[in-house]
Structures are given as C-alpha cells and as structure tokens.
Amino acid sequence: MIKGDTSSMAELCFVSLRDAIVEGKVKQGSKLSETKIAEQYQVSRAVVRDAIAKLEVCRLVERKPNIGAKVISLNEASLNELYQVRSALEALAARLAANNMTKQQRQQLISLLDSQKSVVRSNNYYQEAGDVDFHYHIITGSNNQSLVDLLLGSIYYLVRMYRVQLGMTGPRVSNAYFEHQQIAMAIERQDGELAEMLMRRHIQYSMQTIIDKFAANSISQLQL
Amino acid sequence: MIKGDTSSMAELCFVSLRDAIVEGKVKQGSKLSETKIAEQYQVSRAVVRDAIAKLEVCRLVERKPNIGAKVISLNEASLNELYQVRSALEALAARLAANNMTKQQRQQLISLLDSQKSVVRSNNYYQEAGDVDFHYHIITGSNNQSLVDLLLGSIYYLVRMYRVQLGMTGPRVSNAYFEHQQIAMAIERQDGELAEMLMRRHIQYSMQTIIDKFAANSISQLQL
DNA sequence: AGTTGATAAATTGTCGACAATGTTTAATTT
DNA sequence: AAATTAAACATTGTCGACAATTTATCAACT
C-alpha cells in the first residue's frame, strides 16, 4: 500500500483487502482480525474498520457485533443465485451497450477482440480482470452508471472470487471467443435484442461450466 | 436510536441515517457533517464514520477524501438508469417467485392483496415501505438471496428516495392494484414467463409516471 | 464593489486508549 | 478421564485527542 496518494488510507486498505479476498490470499470463511490487519498494513484499526464496513456492504464479508468479520463462504446455492442475477444484469448491459456505446468504446471493443485473436489460436483465451476483460467493456459500454455500480461494485468481484477459488483464471475453451465475437457483432449492428439474447446464452453456458467445476471440486475434496 | 439492542451503535446509526436520507429529512445534495451527526445522535464520530462508509457503498452518499460526504443529488438521467436496472431485477424476481415461492409466502401475498381490496375502492391504494409492500413480497419470494441483497440493500432505498422527493408516497391510480393482481395470479399459477413480462410492464408504466412527475417537478421549480 | 492574501475556525483522517464482550486456557470438581 | 467453572487473554466497539486539510472570515488592495 503506497502512502501519499490522493485516496485515503481507508480507501487503499479497502481495495487491498478486497483484492486479497477475491484473489484467494485471504481464504473464504476465514476470520478477519482488525488487530492483525492493522499490524500488517501498519495503520490504525480505524482504517481497517472503515474498510471492513464497506466490504460488508459489498457482501464479501459477513460481520457480527462483538464477534467480528469473516470472509463469506462459497457454496453452490449462492453461486447459482449469483449467476441468475449476473445473467439478468449483463444481458441488460449488452442491450444497453448496443444502443448506447460511443463510437470510441465500440472501436476499443473491436480492437480488444482483434488483439486476442492470436491468443485464441494457441488455445489460451481467458479473461484477466479489468481493462482487457470483454465483460468489463460491455458493462462500461452500457453507459448506465447505476448498472456499472452494481456490476463492478459487487457482482464482478463475487464472480471473480468463485473463479479464482475454482482455478478458472487460466485457459478456457475457445467457444468463449466465438461467443464474444457474436455479441460484439450484434452490438456493432446496434441490435439490442440480439445482443441481450446472446449474452444470456453466453452467461448460461459459463454458468453451467462453473457449476460443473464447483461440483467436481467438492467431490474431489470429499475424496481427500 | 435505542441503545441496549444486540446491534452495534454503528448499525443503528447507519439505519437511522439511511432512513433520514431516504425519507427526505436530510436533503439531497446536502453535506453530512460527522461532527454534527455525532452530536445529534450522542455518539462518537467513529460510529458516524462507520455508518457513512456503508452509506457510500449503498450509493446514498458520495464521499471525497478530506472533503467529507454528501447525500447524492437526484436527477432525471440517474432516475432513468435506476429504473432500467430495477426493471431487469424485479422482472427476474417475479419469474423466480413464480418458481420458488413457498406455499406460505404465496398465501401471504394473496392475503396482502385481499386486505388491500377495500383500500382500492376508496382510491387510496399505495405502497408503504416494508411488510405491506407488494414488491417487497415478490422480492423476498424470489428466494434468491443475492437478488434480495441487491434489491433490498440499495435499489429499494434509491427508488423510495425518488418517490419521497416527488411526493409519490400518497395515493396512486388504481391501475397499480390491477397490475399487482395480474402478477400475483401468474405467480400463483407458477407461470414464470408471464410473471416476468407483467412485472416488466408494470415497472415500465411506473417508470413513465415517475419520470413525468420528475419533469413536471423540475419545470415547476424553474418557475419559482 | 470585487479580488487577493492571511488568519482563524471547522472538519476530516487517523491515532492510541479504555470498557465491554467473546475466546482460550487453567484449575477444580465429578 | 471428562465435565464444569474461573481466570487470563484477545478482540471488538467506542471514545476523545492530535495532525492535516479545507472552509470561512476578515483585512487590505485595486
């Protein structure tokens, strides 16, 4: 954590903790000790409490009075629920992107897909977080701040947390690239209805993959 | 604020501040002074800061380092965006409610509508917050906790804030009751697709009403 | 009257301390 | 040995204080 930025220490602590949780450095279900985190980051507990309060509302931690906070536990039921919500919201994002994307945003999306073409050939197509993430561009391209806040404020991190937990940040089958292309073409043609439908399908397939992976992961842990 | 509860003071302060903001006691766009709020509620500033941190993530306040927090400003663009998101999420809630509602929840919904029948006759049909709110029952009846958290954690309060600002907590035309009935019947018959479609329509009409009201309100303020 | 600069006052961000609560460890009883 | 109770320890919730930053006020100048 770099001091001297225009952000408060509390904000930096929040981002740092959020990333540590999402990327699996702090395990799901584990207890967050304000005292230890304050020591580790060399800040006062007030800073840590501010960050934890916000993480609670982001639904990455659960907090109980006098007991403290712990990272949420991941389970198949909540994964299912999360994907239902994700599907509804990202389908909306795709429809709005088809209608609302600026020319510049459209060009960025196309450029992104072009730059990823060679990656697909070597069967290494996957989505890193942030600027090079296809979904991130669709969401921001919706130009609906309320939707951006919801998706990038909470859903995005929860989904990523599951993917990290399941080791799904690595290569994926290249169907995803094809689906992304189809969605991008619908958006380019400003066909909101098609973009929405394709995105629903895409998320549905993705959901099936991650649920299968979760189930397989649970079975292999039972066998240990 | 009652002390001695099992909730922390920070939680009570959060709820109290949220309600004050949503119900218009603290004006939109106004500055929140930690010092003054702490005085008013007779707690330390730490309690107030905890509450404000959470209100920030709920998107009811905007916070800037070294400047402080202020209540969001309401405007037509963000109202529009909010309703787009609300429509997607409540349509999903209706579909899930048709599939997931327990028998008991279904009975409660029907009872609620029955109890409101006489109110409609006197043209006084409106939705108070919480337990007697039709939408609240649909959302909880979705039995998707992720969806409940999103809608009841943020969207619900933002929508209510707009309605209070526009004086829309009073009587409404009784079309709403008819629409609610139609939705409830689709849910009772477990017809998720119809429930979803009817809910989209219902929110769309509601959106048109509130946008018209917002525009009329803005014009009348310009004429002052 | 409007602008600029300096000073005072207020507010925010963070700190360490204290009291209350919960957890862990040790001692006692069965 | 197992169960119960008491004591010690750790953590959380809240407090007031300090330093840094911003805002408000006032005086001087144009």
With H, G, I as helix, E, B as strand and everything else as coil, classify residue B63.
strand
Nearest nucleotide by C1' from A33 CA? D11
Q: Catalogue the E-assigned strands of B17-157.
A: 31-32, 61-64, 68-71
Q: Is the pLDDT of residue A4 over 60?
A: no
Same domain membership, residue B114 and residue B99: yes
CATH number of the structural domain spanning residue B153: 1.20.120.530
CB neighbour class for B88 (10 Å; exposed up to 12, middle 13-18, buried from 19): buried
Tens-level pLDDT at each residue, chain B (224 residues): 544 457 899 999 999 999 999 999 999 999 999 999 999 999 999 999 999 999 999 999 999 999 999 999 999 999 999 999 999 999 999 999 999 999 999 999 999 888 877 776 655 555 555 566 899 999 999 999 999 999 999 999 999 999 888 876 554 555 788 899 999 999 999 999 999 999 999 999 989 888 888 888 777 766 65
Same domain membership, residue A132 and residue A102: yes
Beta-carbon contacts of residue B124 (< 8 Å; ≥ 6 apart): B171
Q: How far apart are CA B54 and CA B52, in angstroms?
A: 5
Cα radius of gyration (chain A): 19
Closest CA to B150 of A97, A84, A70: A84
DSSP H/E element including B98? helix B76-100
Q: What is the DSSP letter of B73?
A: P
Reported ipTM: 0.90
Chosen domain end from B22, B52, B71 = B71
Instruction: Determine, yes or no, domain membership for A1.
Output: no
Domain that holds residue A30: 9-71
Rounded mean pLDDT of chain A?
A: 88
pLDDT of residue B174: 57
Cα radius of gyration (chain B): 19
pLDDT of residue A90: 97
pLDDT of residue B21: 96
Domain count, chain A: 2
Does B81 contact chain A (CB < 8 Å)?
yes
Chain-chain contact of B146 with A85 (C-beta, under 8 angstroms):
yes
Instruction: Determine, yes or no, domain membership for A151.
Output: yes
What backbone phi and psi angles, to 5 degrees, belong to B168?
Answer: -100, 25
Same domain membership, residue A188 and residue A148: yes
Strand C close to A9 by CB, under 7 A: yes
- Chain A window 66-105: residues with CB closer than 7 Å to nucleic chain C are 66-67
- The single-letter code of the amino acid at A128 is E
List, in sequence order, the alpha helices (H) in chain A: 9-22, 34-41, 45-57, 76-100, 103-115, 117-121, 134-141, 145-150, 156-165, 175-188, 192-222
Same domain membership, residue A104 and residue A63: no
Same domain membership, residue A173 and residue A216: yes
**How many beta carbons lie within 10 A of that of residue A176, not counting itself?**
18
Q: Is the pLDDT of residue A169 over 90?
A: no
A140-153 residue pLDDT tens: 999 999 999 999 99
Same domain membership, residue B60 and residue B88: no
CATH number of the structural domain spanning residue B33: 1.10.10.10
pLDDT band at A125 (very low <50, low <70, confident <90, very high): low
pLDDT of residue B93: 97
Distance from B221 to chain A by nearest Cα, in Å? 26
Strand C close to B3 by CB, under 7 A: no
Q: Which two tokens stand for residue B134?
A: 């039709």
Which 116-135 residues of chain B touch chain A by CB within 8 A?
none
Same domain membership, residue A163 and residue A130: yes
Q: Catalogue the E-assigned strands of chain B.
A: 31-32, 61-64, 68-71
The separation, in Å, between residue A164 CA and nucleotide C19 C1' comes to 41
Instruction: Determine, yes or no, domain membership for B65.
Output: yes
Distance from B171 to chain A by nearest Cα, in Å? 28
Instruction: Determine, yes or no, domain membership for B2.
Output: no
Asked if residue B208 lies in contact with residue B165, where contact means CB atoms within 8 angstroms, the answer is no
Chosen domain end from B49, B71, B93 = B71
Q: How far apart are CA A143 and CA A137, in angstroms?
A: 10
Instruction: Determine, yes or no, domain membership for B128.
Output: yes
Bases of chain D below 7 A from a protein C-beta are 10-17, 21-23
Chain-chain contact of B96 with A84 (C-beta, under 8 angstroms):
yes
Same domain membership, residue B55 and residue B30: yes
Instruction: Determine, yes or no, domain membership for B3.
Output: no
A96-118 residue pLDDT tens: 999 999 999 999 999 988 887 77
Q: Which two tokens stand for residue A19?
A: 């990333």
Instruction: Determine, yes or no, domain membership for B218.
Output: yes
Q: Which two tokens stand for residue A4?
A: 């001297």
The pLDDT of A124-140, averaged and rounded, is 74
Torsion of CA A15, B78, B58, B96, to 10 degrees: -110
Least confident of A76-85, A207-216, B201-210: A207-216
Between A177 and A28, the higher pLDDT residue: A28
Same domain membership, residue B216 and residue B138: yes
Q: How far apart are CA B167 and CA B213, in angstroms?
A: 9
Instruction: Determine, yes or no, domain membership for A2.
Output: no
Same domain membership, residue B158 and residue B120: yes
Asked if residue A106 lies in contact with residue A187, where contact means CB atoms within 8 angstroms, the answer is yes
Same domain membership, residue A187 and residue A218: yes
The separation, in Å, between residue A65 CA and nucleotide D4 C1' comes to 28
Beta-carbon contacts of residue B69 (< 8 Å; ≥ 6 apart): B31, B32, B34, B52, B55, B56, B61, B62, B63
pLDDT of residue B42: 95
Beta-carbon contacts of residue B1 (< 8 Å; ≥ 6 apart): B9, B12, B13, B16, B41
pLDDT of residue B3: 47
Same domain membership, residue A54 and residue A18: yes
Ramachandran bin of B102, using left for φ above 0, alpha for ψ from -120 to 50, beta for the remaining angles: beta
Strand C close to B44 by CB, under 7 A: no
Chosen domain end from B51, B71, B91 = B71
